[in-house]
Chains A and B, each alone.
Chain A
């Protein structure tokens, strides 16, 4: 196992070369009198594990540990082991151990994330129209039990299941602690279950697949005592999925030089509108970018 060793009296504050030389010379003098021996720490420690740091020399000193989850100070006997408890080493990152007696010596080491036990999983969108390319995306980030991001490559399995159809699986190796995918939406409206899994950890999200734009919009109508009642046939997308209620259908009536327009939301699959026109009239319907058939009615 490789280990980090101490650096005594680094001259970081020197702003000019002559000052650096002076500080360096002073440090050499101090180092020659140092009672603090060399500190040895494993260069990489797994998060949540305790470590022991052997010391040399005699007498007492003060040990400091500064890192993402530690800012501790305690008296120690030189020549004895310094035990660092696991709770001081839970957060992954860079730590500095400092041992001071007559002089101070320090050592840096890294705490690495433990094994992944949970996934943060972001899936978009929450509602997706059917039959669209690359409309669904998911991003998974593995974390260990101390909420450290696991940046070492791991394989994340993405599984997409819609209704009773067979699941679609896709394995992705994480890069820089992130695994992601893009997928097409299915052909049928309904819930799409998206699961990201990694060993024992998994996260589940639901994407509601909804009908796409209406297809073959057809209307019918008749004159009544108060005008014209016009309505669509059940509105479906090109895959036969009913278009959601609330989708707006625009009816346009043209008679001579006059034109009138009515917006009507779909209710239970059908959009209805009441229009007024006494003379011969042509009525058309549109929803989004889709045009329907044209209806011709004679004078009242």
Chain B
């Protein structure tokens, strides 16, 4: 009886551990992968083709993954060419400043609501409005000095490159 009860408790503990592990895994995936939705219905003067819409969505999501990793690790290594021009200069400059000061930033639980507001007649530039929501943590040598749930409005310029859309401008504004 005691043995059977012990085995039952063991299985229960195992099931709870598995459940907790599954929940933690699920939470980690949610935390690392930004949720991004794009409304392209108001884009003009050119309409955004569905394939283009999917590419923009994919590359914008990856760009934010890279951005978050770069600013958390204070390293430019995670940047995979999804930022170009001014946006790339800004991001690499910020990473270098973080390295110098010992600060780092975490962007957790991201969600981005994108709206395409302009798509050039020849399809060579798209402007997006991103209402981003994320947990921002700022750390000084690993110690959290600031944390908040931030809602930030970004004006984004993206242009097509050889095999992807790259961010050329990522500028926060008080409101659209």
List residues of chain A with CB under 8 Å of any chain B CB.
7, 10, 12-13, 43-44, 62, 64, 66, 68-73, 91-94, 96, 98, 100, 104, 106, 110, 113, 122, 124-125, 137, 139, 141, 147-149, 151, 175-178, 180, 182
8 Å CB contacts to A: which residues of B30-54?
A: 45
In the assembled complex, B171 has its CB within 8 A of some CB on chain A: yes
Residues of the B chain whose Cβ atoms lie less than 8 Å from the Cβ of A182:
45, 121
Contact B97–A71 (Cβ < 8 Å): yes
Would you mind naming 6 contact pairs between A and B with Cβ atoms under 8 Å apart? A71-B105, A94-B150, A137-B121, A151-B155, A176-B118, A176-B155
Q: Which of B7-15, B56-64, B75-83, B141-149 contacts A (4 or more CB under 8 A)?
A: B141-149
Minimal beta-carbon separation of A151 from chain B (angstroms): 6
Contact of B148 among A12, A122, A125, A151 (CB under 8 A): A12
Contact of B172 among A12, A70, A93, A175 (CB under 8 A): A93
Top 5 nearest A-B pairs by Cβ distance? A137-B121, A94-B172, A93-B172, A71-B97, A124-B122
Residues of the A chain whose Cβ atoms lie less than 8 Å from the Cβ of B135:
12-13
Contact of B146 among A98, A122, A148, A151 (CB under 8 A): A98
A-B contact sample (16 more), CB < 8 A, given A71-B98, A100-B145, A151-B171: A12-B135, A64-B138, A66-B105, A66-B146, A73-B103, A92-B173, A93-B173, A104-B146, A122-B120, A124-B121, A137-B120, A147-B86, A176-B117, A176-B118, A177-B155, A182-B45
Minimal beta-carbon separation of B170 from chain A (angstroms): 8
Residues of the A chain whose Cβ atoms lie less than 8 Å from the Cβ of B174:
43-44, 110
Minimal beta-carbon separation of A185 from chain B (angstroms): 14
| Secondary structure dominating the interface of B | strand
Query: What 1/0 mask marks residues of chain B from 125 to 161 whose CB sits below 8 Å from any chain A CB?
Result: 1010100000111101000011111101001010000
Contact of A10 among B89, B125, B148, B171 (CB under 8 A): B148
Contact of A64 among B129, B145, B171 (CB under 8 A): B145
Residues of the B chain whose Cβ atoms lie less than 8 Å from the Cβ of A147:
86, 89
The chain A residue with its CB closest to the CB of B121 is A137
| Secondary structure dominating the interface of A | strand
| Contacts known (A73-B101, A137-B122, A141-B157); A7 close to B148, Cβ less than 8 A | yes
In the assembled complex, B90 has its CB within 8 A of some CB on chain A: yes
The chain B residue with its CB closest to the CB of A125 is B122
The chain B residue with its CB closest to the CB of A146 is B86
CA distance A291 to B149 in the complex (A): 69
Residues of the B chain whose Cβ atoms lie less than 8 Å from the Cβ of A68:
90, 94, 171-172
Contact of A122 among B102, B103, B125 (CB under 8 A): B125
CA distance A151 to B148 in the complex (A): 27
Residues of the A chain whose Cβ atoms lie less than 8 Å from the Cβ of B125:
122, 139, 141
In the assembled complex, B169 has its CB within 8 A of some CB on chain A: yes
Minimal beta-carbon separation of A176 from chain B (angstroms): 5
Minimal beta-carbon separation of B167 from chain A (angstroms): 12
Minimal beta-carbon separation of A224 from chain B (angstroms): 49
CA distance A189 to B158 in the complex (A): 34
Contact A180–B86 (Cβ < 8 Å): no
Contact A10–B120 (Cβ < 8 Å): no
Residues of the B chain whose Cβ atoms lie less than 8 Å from the Cβ of A92:
171-173
CA distance A7 to B100 in the complex (A): 27
Residues of the B chain whose Cβ atoms lie less than 8 Å from the Cβ of A72:
97, 101, 103
Contact A122–B124 (Cβ < 8 Å): yes
CA distance A100 to B172 in the complex (A): 25
Contact A149–B157 (Cβ < 8 Å): yes
In the assembled complex, B19 has its CB within 8 A of some CB on chain A: no
Contact B121–A73 (Cβ < 8 Å): no
CA distance A110 to B150 in the complex (A): 14
Minimal beta-carbon separation of B90 from chain A (angstroms): 6
CA distance A10 to B145 in the complex (A): 11
Residues of the A chain whose Cβ atoms lie less than 8 Å from the Cβ of B147:
10, 12-13
Minimal beta-carbon separation of A45 from chain B (angstroms): 11
Residues of the A chain whose Cβ atoms lie less than 8 Å from the Cβ of B145:
64, 98, 100, 104
| Contacts known (A149-B157, A177-B127); A69 close to B149, Cβ less than 8 A | no
Residues of the B chain whose Cβ atoms lie less than 8 Å from the Cβ of A175:
118
Give the interface centre of A104, A149, A182 by most chain B CB atoms within 10 Å.
A149
Contact of B171 among A71, A96, A98, A149 (CB under 8 A): A149
